[in-house]
């Protein structure tokens, strides 16, 4: 573990994760996003405590928007749950990418449940950036501090947005909700170094709006399948080219 950052104990690693979260740009992104989400909950007639509970259970602002809008439009709980579940599928690849950085930190698989639940855009991007520089035994505690601190920001500013809703213009609330996807796009573009990463990024940017424009059902899923297939194809072609190069 030479060269990797170590801590005196697990609580110290947890506190370091929390400090990293509160000093990152994603804290500001989440603050703005949840101000908009709090205003949306107010306009749809949900209580701030209902929003806080949904933050704990769902922990993904886009999925919470889906949950709020589907229930407000008269959908049943089962219909809302299905919609949120389909939306949450996008988080599965993030968990798959994060777990190798935590593997070996503990033999107790239950210890991985909490960082898995905390995995969302903000926590995932920061974990991939910071965990390689942290000694393996402290990574789970660091992730938990990171995730819990981000959730605390969401709680606080969800309440702020709820009580500011009366004076918050609709366009501003919508713009604040757009902060999370924009921050994800920016972070992904910055961290895309391999050819396959760049192909997947460009394919998603092009295919997503195109399929939505043509009102293709399950456009997000098809964007992921086609973009992933193109990225894998580009990776295979590059590998073959490198192997056959003189």
Distances (CA, A) of 178 to 26, 127, 146: 13, 22, 22
Distances (CA, A) of 164 to 36, 37, 45, 154: 10, 11, 14, 15
**The pLDDT value given to residue 180:** 61
Query: How would residue 72 be classed by pLDDT, with cut points 50, 70 and 90?
Result: confident
Query: How would residue 174 be classed by pLDDT, with cut points 50, 70 and 90?
Result: low
pLDDT higher than threshold 80 for residue 173: no
**Residue range 55-67, pLDDT digits in tens:** 999 988 888 888 8
Q: Is the pTM of this model over 0.85?
A: no
pLDDT higher than threshold 90 for residue 148: yes
Distances (CA, A) of 117 to 27, 58, 90, 148, 165: 18, 9, 13, 10, 29
Neighbours of 66 (CB within 10 A): 20
Tell me what percent of the residues of the chain surpass a pLDDT of 90.
25
51: alpha, beta or left, given left = phi > 0 and alpha = psi -120 to 50? alpha
**The pLDDT value given to residue 104:** 78
**The pLDDT value given to residue 245:** 67
């Amino acid at each position: 573990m030479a060269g990797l950052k170590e801590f005196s104990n697990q609580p110290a690693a947890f506190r370091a994760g929390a400090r990293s979260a509160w000093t990152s740009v994603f804290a500001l992104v989440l603050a703005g996003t949840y101000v908009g989400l709090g205003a949306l909950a107010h306009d749809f007639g949900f209580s701030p405590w209902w929003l806080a509970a949904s933050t704990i259970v769902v922990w993904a602002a886009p999925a919470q928007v889906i949950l709020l809008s589907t229930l407000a439009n008269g959908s049943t709980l089962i219909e809302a749950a299905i919609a949120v579940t389909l939306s949450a599928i996008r988080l599965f690849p993030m968990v798959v990418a994060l777990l190798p950085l935590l593997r070996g930190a503990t033999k107790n698989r239950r210890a991985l449940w909490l960082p898995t639940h905390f995995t969302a855009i903000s926590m995932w991007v920061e974990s991939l950036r910071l965990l390689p520089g942290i000694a393996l035994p402290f990574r789970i505690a660091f992730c938990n501090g990171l995730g819990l601190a981000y959730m605390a920001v969401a709680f606080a500013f969800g309440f702020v947005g709820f009580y500011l809703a009366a004076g918050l213009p609709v366009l501003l609330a919508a713009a604040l909700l757009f902060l999370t996807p924009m921050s994800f796009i920016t972070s992904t573009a910055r961290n895309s170094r391999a050819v396959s990463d760049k192909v997947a990024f460009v394919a998603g940017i092009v295919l997503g709006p195109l399929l939505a424009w043509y009102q293709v059902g399950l456009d997000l899923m098809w964007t992921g399948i086609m973009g992933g297939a193109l990225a894998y194809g580009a990776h295979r072609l590059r590998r073959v080219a490198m192997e056959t190069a003189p």
